[in-house]
Amino acid sequence: AQALAKEQAKKEEEEQLKRQEEENTIHLLAVGDNLIHEHIYQSGESKSGEWNYDHLYQYVKDKVSSADIAVVNEECIFVESHENFSAYPEFGSPEEIGDALVDTGFDVVLHATNHAMDKGTQAIEETLAYWENTHPEIEVLGIHKNQEEADRIATVECKGATFAMLNYTCQINGEDYDSFPSYMLDVLDMDRVSADVKKAKEAGDMVIAFLHIGTEYASQPNQEMKDYLQLLLSQGVDI
């Protein structure tokens, strides 16, 4: 009986330690790119006229939803009108893609990509309005409706820790940077990044930077990637 009691006490102690470890462990999941080509967005239309994209993520939903913080790089900007959908080379995705991402369990959505301006400033405004009005609980990074929002450091709290998050793209397709206000999209710039990191370190316990950067189809990092990585490391970014 004594041996059994000892065994039981040992098992309970191990379970308690396991619970404590889990309570003090934060599982961060980050994926991308969520890039919606023509046949993919067509797959969401039903005969009834309703649009739904839950099927795209059904096999990863358990993994995504079980993470404490789940982040997705949303490569395509959203468009309000179904008449305005488009795919390569200028992407504009249904807002229902956003609904499916939320249903899958994502908490943070990254929008600073080379395709962010594919549909002009109107689509940026429509995307921001969609997130704000439909899923205000989602933290959206990389695009902003005004300078005040652009200056705000995004933070996510989890298990008593605060994560400050930054998101940038190294370029936009077409590269017509004068066609939109600079606050609308977070584009990589050495001085800007340094200033943001400084603010982020004050805003959170840890700083995470998500970069949309590099040469497509290349298997090695280019010099720009190396330069920005060194900058972020020297500034004290954690992830």
From the list 49, 52, 115, the residue with the least C-alpha distance to 78 is 115
Please provide residue 16's backbone torsions phi and psi, each rounded to the nearest 5 degrees: -65, -45
Joined tokens for residue 210: 């998500």
- Cα angle vertex 138, ends 183, 161, to 5°? 95
Q: How many residues appear in the chain?
A: 239
Give me the amino acid identity at 152: R
* Residue 41 near residue 79, CB atoms below 8 Å: no
Print pLDDT tens along the chain (239 aa): 788 888 888 888 888 888 888 889 999 999 999 999 999 999 999 999 999 999 999 999 999 999 999 999 999 999 999 999 999 999 999 999 999 999 999 999 999 999 999 999 999 999 999 999 999 999 999 999 999 999 999 999 999 999 999 999 999 998 889 899 999 999 999 999 999 999 999 999 999 999 999 998 999 999 999 999 999 999 999 99
From the list 159, 154, 152, 140, the residue with the least C-alpha distance to 98 is 140
* Residue 145 near residue 84, CB atoms below 8 Å: no
The pairing of beta strand 93-94 with beta strand 108-110: unpaired
* Residue 23 near residue 17, CB atoms below 8 Å: no
Q: What is the pTM of this model?
A: 0.91
